[in-house]
Structure 1
Amino acid sequence: MDGSQGGIEEARLEPASVRRFLSDNPQFLTGDHGLLDELGLKVAVGNIVDFGPAVMARVHAAHQREATQRQHLEETARANFSAQAQTHGAVVDLLEARNHSDLARRVDELAQQRFGLTAGVIALETEGLPPAGWKRLVEGQVDMILGGPQRLARMGFAPTALGLFGDQGEAIKSMAMVRMAIWEPSRQGLLAFGSADAESFTEDMGAELVAFLARVVERTAERWPIL
């Protein structure tokens, strides 16, 4: 057999063939101490192949990865539970609002006291004056801030939204904003939360809880007609 034929035979070597060979010739492995060392194995009493340090290290590393992943999942679950509990408490606060001005005050207070943020704002597109405590936007400004008429929410940092936060705008490093439609015929509005921490809201975050609060603000604001 020439060299090329030997290469073909080696290329055709299959795991099942190797397993069968070692089963029929156990001394090939147990008697080759150099190969055992390379594999991180050793022969224990009774010719039993024992796991060596290298194999145990791989097992330990796998265990550490599983423990880290489990801890991350537990921390995420706790954070989600805490956020949901705070959101439910915020809903109760919002539903107790007595008028538009009180509603805006409560949004700002819950942003700071419940969620540890810098500010919470309600904004409305209107040609005249918005309700007391609300921010005035011109027509089309909600689309501009969110990045288009099809976007319902925006998480992260948006320079075009800094004006919503007035004197606190310079401190805002990230925002969570959700589109609102209030009254009939509907007027475009925005519920916005701002944070001094750039990591509080990022583009890859879901906006479900903020959107839920926006729906509550919509329904609560519709209790009173806009003058």
Structure 2
Amino acid sequence: MSKEETADLFAPREPHWPEIRAWLQANPDTLLDDRSLLEEIGLIARGRNVVEFGRTALTKLEAAAEREADARKRIEDVARANFAAQTQTHVAALDLMEARSHSDLARRLDVAAQARFGLSAAAIAVEKPGGVPFGWKALEPGGVDAWLGGHGLTWLGPMFPELDLFGPAGEEVKSVALIRMALHLGGERGEEARPALAAFGSPEPEGFTAGMGCELVAFVAAVVARTAERWPVLS
């Protein structure tokens, strides 16, 4: 055996927990009889078969229980907020489906955005050529792609300074959600669908962010698109 192998054989090594655990299981009395060690790790022996948690151990348990309670409360708060948002979305969808015209649809969308979701405004925009309903915003051809990209379906993030869709309310908009739509206005399916946008503006810089899910606003936009196909354009 070489000197190196001999040195490795007699070199001190760190104890492994599985070995320590097995030894304690085989020799439990050794730990129970060492009261000073039990006190150091926060345990107190009460008789041969009873070990009482000391102050240190209880403090650790209380801290763990408090962290668990805080995490549970955060989960419950998120669940309640999600449920409330879904409820408001469904109520808003029912209100949108009761619209009597394109202009009434745009008005109802704006009211729902403010009253039900605390937003600054909402708007509907459609590309030309073709008639633009009263109360809607007109976009030049390619306008939707200019905001969302050629294949983009949504944008959630900071407000574009040049995004002129919200009228006077646009001054307080700090972040926006833009949802692509394809509309057959007037229910005429024979023609190619016209690119359009449903736009939502928030007064909060973090009201809409890139990492946020857009399922609810996309659902509202889908309701708008389907409802808008009921009537011919009266421009």
Q: Same fold (TM over 0.5)?
A: yes
Match of 2:3 in 1: none
Structure with more relative contact order (C-alpha pairs < 8 Å, separation 6 or more): 2
Unmatched tracts of structure 1, length 5 or more = none
Q: Which amino acid aligns with 1:207?
A: C
Determine which of 193, 196, 200 is the counterpart of 1:186: 193
Determine which of 210, 213, 223 is the counterpart of 1:206: 213
The separation in 2 between residues aligned to 1:143 and 1:92, in whole angstroms, is 30
- 2:113 is paired with a residue of what secondary structure? helix
The separation in 2 between residues aligned to 1:65 and 1:36, in whole angstroms, is 26
Q: Which amino acid aligns with 1:97?
A: A
1:5 aligns with 2:18: no
Indicate the percent of aligned positions where both proteins have the same amino acid. Answer: 49
The separation in 2 between residues aligned to 1:220 and 1:27, in whole angstroms, is 78
Contact 2:131–2:233 (Cα < 8 Å) also in 1: no
Q: Deviations over 1:9-61 (max 9, x none)?
A: x34x4433212322343454334455334422232333643322222222112
The separation in 2 between residues aligned to 1:32 and 1:52, in whole angstroms, is 15
Q: Deviations over 1:136-177 (max 9, x none)?
A: 11122212222x222211222231563212222221112122
Q: Deviations over 1:155-214 (max 9, x none)?
A: 222315632122222211121221100014111110011111223222221111111111
> Using a 3 Å threshold, how does the CA distance of structure 1 residues 133 and 53 change in structure 2: closer, same or farther?
same
RMSD over aligned Cα, in angstroms?
2.3
Determine which of 102, 125, 128 is the counterpart of 1:126: 128
- 1:175 is paired with a residue of what secondary structure? strand
> Using a 3 Å threshold, how does the CA distance of structure 1 residues 160 and 185 change in structure 2: closer, same or farther?
farther
The separation in 1 between residues aligned to 2:46 and 2:11, in whole angstroms, is 35
Q: Deviations over 1:75-128 (max 9, x none)?
A: 122112211211111112111111111111111111111222110100111146
Q: How many residues align?
A: 223
**Normalising to structure 2: TM-score of the pair?**
0.84
Q: Which amino acid aligns with 1:159?
A: F
1:172 aligns with 2:173: yes
Contact 1:162–1:170 (Cα < 8 Å) also in 2: no
Contact 1:123–1:189 (Cα < 8 Å) also in 2: yes
Q: For residues 23-34 of structure 1, what are the structure 2 equivalents within 5 Å?
A: 23-34=25-36
1:223 aligns with 2:224: no
The separation in 2 between residues aligned to 1:211 and 1:168, in whole angstroms, is 22
Q: Which amino acid aligns with 2:175?
A: S
> Using a 3 Å threshold, how does the CA distance of structure 1 residues 158 and 197 change in structure 2: closer, same or farther?
closer
Q: Which amino acid aligns with 2:154?
A: A
The separation in 2 between residues aligned to 1:223 and 1:162, in whole angstroms, is 28
Unmatched tracts of structure 2, length 5 or more = 1-5, 185-190
